[in-house]
Amino acid sequence: MSILAGQPEYCTMDDIRNLPEGQRAELIDGELYMMAAPGMMHQRILMELAFRIRDYIGKNRGDCEVLPAPFAVFLNADDRIYVEPDLSVICDKEKLTEDGCKGAPDWVIEIASPTSRPMDYNKKLFKYRTAGVREYWIIDYERDLITVYDFEHDEMTDYTLKDKVKAGIYQDLEIDFSQMVL
């Protein structure tokens, strides 16, 4: 992720909407952060997680939506913070519109890359927490690290890609990363 060179002093959603076709960026407090295309490992992890979480919700007749990037999240239900988390789980259907999610998802998963680490571990961590995200996972496959932030209980736990990781927003969802086809 990088800040767009030559961008106006304060960017808005109009700047996001006016990006060239196929170019993606996030907007945080007036700054545009350009997004690189994800690699194959990133996409494999994303798809595995999306399917496993969606299957769990379906089998348990849950009401939450599982939406992978690119999916618009207006984090504070305004135009100041626009992000595209790798995976969003939204349980309050009233937050969902055709344009995206207006407000904080319940659970956000970001898959870190060398270019996104500063955003994922710092800026987004703070923004997700203050916006009301209940749970935030950062999967850093190059470091063999999964960091789980349970904001409801003010806890942080680290795992590896060989561990089973329990989802805090569900009582009995556990994802066994060692069983993933990566």
Tell me the pLDDT band of 1, cut-offs 50, 70 and 90.
very low
68 has pLDDT over 90: yes
Nearest-5° Cα angle at 171, 166 to 174: 30
151 has pLDDT over 90: yes
Nearest-5° Cα angle at 178, 84 to 47: 30
Q: How far apart are CA 70 and CA 86, in angstroms?
A: 7
- Does residue 150 contact residue 177 with C-beta atoms inside 8 Å? no
pTM above 0.95, yes or no: no
Tell me the pLDDT band of 141, cut-offs 50, 70 and 90.
very high
